Structure 1
Amino acid sequence: MNPVASTSKARLRSRPGDRRQSRKKAKINTKGIYLRAIRDAFIKLNPKNAIKNPVMFLVWLGTLITLSVTIYPNLFGLTQQKNPQLFNGLLTGILFFTVWFANFAEALAEARGKAQANALRSIKSETIAKKLASDGTITEVSSTNLQQGDNIYVVAGDIIPADGEVIMGVASVDESAITGESAPVLKESGSDIASSVTGGTRIISDELIIRITADPGKGFIDRMIALLEGKKRRKTPNEIALTVLLAVLSLVFLFVVATLPVFAYYVKSPISVPILIALLVALIPTTISGLLSAIGIAGMDRVAQFNVIATSGRAVEACGDVNTLILDKTGTITLGNRLAEDFIPINNHSIEEVAYIALAASVFDDTPEGKSIVRLAQRLGARFDFDPNQSEGVAFSSKTRMSGTNLYGGREARKGAVGAIKDFVRSRNGDDTPELDAAYEQVSRQGGTPLAVCLDSEIYGVIYLKDVVKPGIRERFDQLRRMGVHTVMLTGDNRITAAVIANEAGVDEFIAEATPEDKISVIQEEQAKGKLVAMTGDGTNDAPALVQANVSLVMNTGTQAAKEAANMVDLDSDPTKLIDIVSIGKQLLITRGALTTFSITNDIAKYFAIIPVIFTAVNLQSLNIMNLTSANSGVLSALIYNALIIPVLIPLALKGVQIKPLKANQLLQRNILIYGLGGAIAPFIAIKLIDMLITAVGLA
């Protein structure tokens, strides 16, 4: 780092006053969340906000009408009630709290997201950055003045001022402020998955030169804050469809209630306007309407609790409909630290010769895999007897499937997939031998990855790259299978290695020797069958496939291109997290379906509780199946239950219905049995108890 080394580190270190960020995640104040939700629930009574929920807007209008009748009892003509102002006032209060409880459910879900956003905002503040000019000079500027493309210099103790890519250096970075993980993360240039850094994190060792990849206000934390605060919250397609359905149902019930006075007049049992409003509110699906937004917001919040940031509720919801899950092998199904374990010589070459050729072919390979090959070769005694400065590195390509070094004098050292090395040697008039195939199978049957090494037209041996299947991964795939999700493993490894890993991990299907183009093809084939596909990735070459997939999860350690392509970012960089996200998505849909079922059966039960109100004047008391004390007590009891059931169900809406590893039809049957039957029984019990309480206190 020559431009940096010439600068005095003492002069360049950030002053204590420049590092004002919190180095730990701020604790979320639970009391503050509830106070914010209570306040926001009143603010949401504004007509501009109320009209966004058609069902609750009808209740909002009903509240105003009953309030008017409370003030002016004869507004719609004479009333037959003994104390109309008391009764109408009680109706007004109950209807008001019905709307307020619905607002509170939404506000509470939003407040939890805002609390997380505030915790993130506490680690993001203006800092002094050391901007590096092209001539090597350094200027101290505010982090808010950094632009995309600027280069900055950071040393141990500095806060990284903005999102960027490491272009020079190796250093440990503390990302606990974002991920909550205390262990430092190694960042280095030349690595496809370890060069991306996030603004607000802190460098704790060595030094880096970073190229800024985001303009002020458009960094990763900025986007996270905006999403958690709900600034970009949009209703999902399923939410919109359900909202329209509930609005249509409410409109139908509105017409039904509007025609009741005609029938009541015919049987000489007049119905007052407050009673009609009470009947309408009891009929329309207020429970699910009041909780619908909270369920969607809570779904994104649960994803955030897994340290995953979703770009939209649509992405979370889509997870619940996923049919096919496409996963990389390395780092997802296996631990991902694929390192050189052994050298296998062939063609009468010694292990020392293989180590030397492997060292020569890997000298320019900055990946962890390449560095492990260099370390193993040097441990076996291999040394440079050529000048790297007079050599040229050949980068790995998904098309050539190999990398290496062009040595001084025209000699070519290569390492790569066995098939690719065979083709390379044949193009130089060389031959492969049966020994190569034997070594290839030996490594593959152990679940390892074989890399052949050659010098010009001669193959020297095979490198054994070892990886390990993650503990418990088979059980997780079994759970997904029971939920009807088909799993596909994609890997660049050969078929033998892929088959061994696939069998050990328990995936449904595998595709070996896959290229980035193959990923897109597999996704398109599955989508052509009408399936929703989810996949995970982290590299630049994953970006096209991430865009194509219906749900895409990118690692926080991934490249900027991958992050921009995906609709979810995992702050912990754990590829298996996608399995959890699919479960959360399914939980979101199950919760919405369960509460919708509960709400509809509730409405049916409440309807039968209020029927006696219509017919008491014509001596049809036999219809009073619940033996309620009076018409007034029946109406009040039904509406009190209607209001209270919303806050009772808020914890379930926020936490979600417990998910079971069952298929869709099994879940449907289970929900109908538990929430459908429960929703039909609960109102009869609760309304009868409330009626007895009302009678006891003399409000009937």
Structure 2
Amino acid sequence: MAADPATTATAVEHVELPITGMTCASCANRVERRLNGLEGVTATVNYATEKAAVAFDAATVAPEDLVAAVRAAGYDAALPSAGDDEPAQAGAEADETAPLRRRLLITAPLSLVVLVLSMISALQFDHWQWLALQLATPVVVWGAWPFHRAAWVNLRHGAATMDTLVSLGVLTAFVWSMYALFLGDAGTTGMKMRLSLSASGGDELYLEIASVVTSFLLAGRYFEARSKRRAGAALKALLQLGAKDVSVLGADGGERRIPVQELAVGQRFVVRPGEKVATDGVVVEGASAVDQSLLTGESVPVEKGPGDEIAGASVNAGGRLVVRATRVGADTALAQIARLVTEAQTGNAAVQRLADRISGVFVPVVIGIAIATLGFWLGSGADVKFALTSAVAVLIIACPCALGLATPTALLVGTGRGAQLGLLIKGPEVLESTRRVDTIVLDKTGTVTTGRMSLVDVVVADGTSRADALRIAGALEDASEHPIAQAVARAARDELGPLPAAEGFANREGLGVEGVVDGHGVQVGRPSLVAEWSLPVPSGLDAARHAAEQQGRTAVLAAWDGAVRALLVVADTVKPSSAEAVARLRGLGLRPVLLTGDNAATARAVAAEVGIDEVIAEVLPADKAAVIRRLQDEGRVVAMVGDGVNDAPALAQADLGLSIGTGTDVAIEASDLTLVSGDLRAAGDAIRLSRATLRTIQQNLTWAFGYNIAAIPLAAAGLLNPLIAGAAMGLSSLSVVANALRLRRFRSSYGAAPAERAS
């Protein structure tokens, strides 16, 4: 008998752990290996965000076990609590740079004096070495303490990281200098002889190396921390967009101000001009233009009225609105966007995996090379000073940090910038897909078109005015719920204002509607409806009907007082931006295909209007995924853009799925990229941003690998002074972060960059 799935299924839970104490990519690699060593645990540790994304089997592993595993690796973690919020975390990160800044401000002047005394002989007085020692000691002991402490913790756990290399290099230079000062005068022992050390005796000292390298590395780590914070600034700005308090309407109509956290689903709240909308909801009263640019990237405010949905964090640009809350807290659009961006930033792209494997063994290999360098030069009869300097340079020049920062920082900036522009990249693996895609399939309804029927033409017979046709037909159609009827009624109200009431309304299923308007007997519907009344269709109206149907539009006839008097043409209109969007997709080297369940005539008309040559029409919703598979079988790498529930299988099947953010949650969940604004032009921007992010990652990795491949042999050959090595090591990490920060300048190909106003 088959086992009950309910009893065999594992309860997989997800948690994001903030990790403290990591100082390089090797640290992240160690934590990740320790977590993945637990049964039923899959973890990814991101050095740039200092977080671990963990999926675990709740039946075998408790969340506390995850924290214990991190601590066993020599680092610290804490389970997130309900009280955690992003602004608090941002403040905590800012505080963490303060100790580095204090150490740097004190060690830098001391190191500079030691360097000047060591390098400029004209400034060297009798026994200057003892002053240099007094100045260098606090730098080496107190200034470099973060490196020494981390190296000791790692040693206790049988591991080595970047801090091990730094601590070894600095202490080696310092201890050798101490030896030279106290014990090293050619067979003379004791401090007595060293007190008479002459100025020339400074040639055996490395105090300037120990102190200046410490200051360089502290500066590099401080600026790296600041740069990483800038890289994640877009997401922090997004999370801080929401309103802090809200004016809630009571049962008596009175208003009271409460913190937004206390707002509940179903409550009504007031949004005045210039205020932020507190949470997602539906407009109950009022009409206003709402600026949604901070969420969707659209620079033009959108008109909102009763019955319209409105997103939290958007800004009311016009009149007073009363809104009923529909989603609060973690369920809001803003929170979901932040969650998607955070998940994308936590992952590792395929191109990072080699770097992760290398960083896992990097530090022990570098220590081995440094020892081999020292032994080789001593065995070759080289000067002890030269051999020691070369070994120290190897320890200091090596930099796994650049390898560890290459991917995460680019993801931080790229996905954060995308969120500002209304482009959500779900994960790092999406980046590879955008590069390979050569065909893009566009669902017609709701993607290329508005997805809502609109009245596009009114043709009247002789003796009938457009206003009469709209008023009489619109009044009758207003009593129907059919999309075509509502399109006619909506256009009539917009043009003429309030409509008269219809009497004796009757719905003729599949044919049209009948009733009485202002004493006129009215019929609106298909030609077969007026044929039942034996009403002839004027030749001009009949020709217009055939022309409309050839264009894929729907035409209904309106008759009253025993004659057919007007033709109303209704269509799902093409979005104004669709033709421009298709042209831009072609410019990216993509081949557009229009996919729809509509008839071929309608599909070809829409395709011709937007500039698409390839059309696949009359496809049932269940068969859309099969169409994607067929295109893939032809050797194409396919992207799919859709918005409805019926598009979800095709979005999942495609090599790259892009969902329109105005569509359904199912479609958004099945896709790889989400276009929050609903504007098809954003598809081109999303692909451009993804490709730019991938290109930045590849540039970073190329630099990080190239730097270490070139620098370590130069140091081993004695061609790099440790001072230069220390500066170069710090600059290597900063260059990777700076390159990633260039993505902050990415611009949408249409409209403004509205989110910058929130920064």
TM-score, normalised to structure 1, is 0.63
Residue equivalent to 2:268: 152
**Residue 578 of structure 1: aligned partner:** 683
Contact 1:441–1:496, Cα closer than 8 Å, also in 2: no
How far apart are 1:296 and its partner, in Å? Answer: 1.3
Judge conservation of contact 1:333–1:470 (CA < 8 Å) in 2. Answer: no
1:198 aligns with 2:312: yes
1:326 alignment counterpart: 441
Residue 441 of structure 1, CA deviation: 6.0
Secondary structure of 2:455's match? Answer: strand
Unaligned runs of 5+ in 1: 1-27, 395-401, 416-420, 614-630, 660-700
Q: Is the 8 A contact 2:238 2:420 kept in 1?
A: no
Tell me if structure 1 keeps the 8 A contact 2:282–2:309.
yes
Is the Cα contact below 8 Å between 1:41 and 1:107 reproduced in 2?
no
- Is it true that 1:130 corresponds to 2:249 in the alignment? yes
Mapped to 2, the partners of 1:481 and 1:235 lie a distance apart of 30
Matched, 1:308 2:405: no
* 1:101-112 equivalent positions in 2, closer than 5 A: 101-112=223-234
Does residue 480 of structure 2 align to residue 364 of structure 1? yes
Residue identity matched to 1:106: K
Structure 1 residues 281 and 372, CA gap change in structure 2 (3 angstroms): farther
Q: Please say which structure displays the higher CA radius of gyration.
A: 2
Considering only aligned residues, what root-mean-square deviation do their CA atoms show, in Å?
5.8
Residues 159, 259 of structure 1: alpha-carbon distance in 2 compared, 3 angstrom cutoff: closer
Quote the residue 1:3 is aligned against: none
Q: Partner amino acid for 2:730?
A: A
Structure 1 counterpart of 2:569: 463
Does the 8 Å CA contact 2:449/2:573 hold for their aligned counterparts? yes
* Cα pair distance change 1:219/1:34, threshold 3 Å: closer
Counterpart of 2:346 in 1: which secondary structure?
coil
| Preserved CA contact (<8 Å) 2:272 2:319 | yes
Is it true that 1:64 corresponds to 2:167 in the alignment? yes
**1:432-443 alignment runs, 5 A limit:** 442-443=547-548
Q: Residues 594 and 607 of structure 2 are in contact (CA less than 8 Å); yes or no, is this contact kept in structure 1?
A: yes
Within the candidate set 696, 711, 726, 1:606 is matched to 711
Q: Which amino acid aligns with 1:302?
A: R
* 8 Å contact kept, 1:173–1:184: yes
**What code does the residue aligned with 1:113 have?**
L
Cα distance change, pair 233–525 in 1 and its aligned pair in 2 (3 A): same
CA shift in 2, pair 1:40/1:653, >3 Å: farther
Tell me the secondary structure at the aligned position of residue 418 of structure 2.
helix
Question: 1:214 — aligned with what?
Answer: 327
Q: CA offset at residue 424 of structure 1?
A: 11
Q: Is the 8 A contact 1:339 1:373 kept in 2?
A: no
Supply the AA of the counterpart residue of 1:234: T
Stretches of structure 2 that go unaligned for 5 or more consecutive residues are 1-86, 103-145, 187-202, 747-759
Distance, in Å, in 2 between the alignment partners of 1:84 and 1:434 is: 102
Q: Distance in 2 between matches of 1:343 and 1:480?
A: 35
CA deviations on 1:371-421 (whole Å, 9 max, x unpaired) are 456535997999868438x65798xxxxxxx8966879xx99886xxxxx7
Contact 1:354 1:461 (8 Å CA) reproduced? no
Q: CA deviation at 1:653?
A: 1.7
In structure 1, how many angstroms separate the alpha carbons of the residues matched to 2:347 and 2:644? 31
Instruction: For residue 73 of structure 1, give the secondary structure of its aligned residue in structure 2.
Output: helix
Provide the C-alpha distance between the structure 2 equivalents of 1:597 and 1:292, rounded to a whole number of angstroms: 11
2:698 corresponds to: 593
1 CA distance for matches of 2:416 and 2:524?
A: 49
Deviation at 1:582, TM superposition (A): 0.6
CA contact (8 A) 1:553 1:570 kept: yes
TM-score by length of 2: 0.59
Specify the SS of the correspondent of 1:507: coil
Q: Please point out which of 244, 255, 258 is paired with 2:356.
A: 244
CA distance in 2, matches of 1:231, 1:469: 32
What CA distance in whole angstroms lies between the structure 1 residues aligned with 2:272 and 2:490? 28
The one-letter code sitting in structure 2 at the alignment partner of 1:130 is: L
| Corresponding letter in the other structure for 2:288 | S
CA contact (8 A) 1:450 1:464 kept: yes
Alignment-mate amino acid for residue 126 of structure 1: D
1:479 to 1:290, Cα distance in 2 relative to 1, 3 A: same
Report how many aligned residue pairs link the two structures. Answer: 575
User: What letter is aligned with 1:465?
Assistant: A
Q: Does structure 2 retain, via aligned residues, the 8 Å contact 1:553–1:569?
A: yes
Sort the Cα spacing of 1:377 and 1:184 in 2 relative to 1 into closer, same or farther, 3 A. closer
- Name the CA distance, whole Å, in 1 between partners of 2:329 and 2:716: 62
AA in 2 matched with 1:213: T
| Equivalence for 2:126 | none
Which residue among 186, 196, 218 is the counterpart of 2:303?
186
User: What does 1:672-691 correspond to in 2, within 5 Å?
Assistant: none
When residues 217 and 331 of structure 1 are mapped into structure 2, their CA distance, relative to the original with a 3 A threshold, is closer
CA drift of 1:244 comes to 2.0
Q: CA deviation at 1:576?
A: 1.6
| CA distance in 2: counterparts of 1:365 and 1:268, whole angstroms | 96
Aligned-residue offset at 1:591: 1.3
Cα 1:37–1:441 shift into 2, 3 Å: farther
Q: Is the 1:537–1:554 contact (alpha carbons within 8 Å) kept by the matching residues of 2?
A: yes
Measure how far apart 1:110 and its partner are. 1.9
Paired residue type of 1:308: L
SS of the residue aligned with 1:127? Answer: strand
